[in-house]
Structure 1
Amino acid sequence: MQREDAAQLPQFILQAALDIVQDLAWTTSAMILKTIDKFNDLVVSVYVTDDHILNMY
């Protein structure tokens, strides 16, 4: 049986990763930041545009 809040887990992980992304986006010239965060089998990878608009997947 899964916990009721398990459905919100991916959103929580993405929100936590935003802090990492905001720091990295301004300190590197790379547009693809690859894997910036992991939790169990969930992985956060990021592509940052020239205008620093974030697309997380």
Structure 2
Amino acid sequence: MAVLLRVDDQRAPPPPPFEKVKDEVTRLLQAEQRQQRITARLAELRQKAEILNLGTP
């Protein structure tokens, strides 16, 4: 006897428990915050910078 199955729908696996991904989520959020602080600091430094044109050599 042969059994024939037809799959009409596939379900995504459930998300992993928070405890398993907590460290990675924390690391990603810290990296994002660090990048935002760097971007803000660079913008501040660029705004304060005084660029002088000393002529062409």
Shorter-chain TM-score range = 0.3 to 0.5
Q: Which has the higher contact order (CA 8 A, sep 6+)?
A: 1
Which protein is bigger by CA-based radius of gyration? 2
TM-score (norm 2): 0.34
Question: More helix per residue: 1 or 2?
Answer: 2
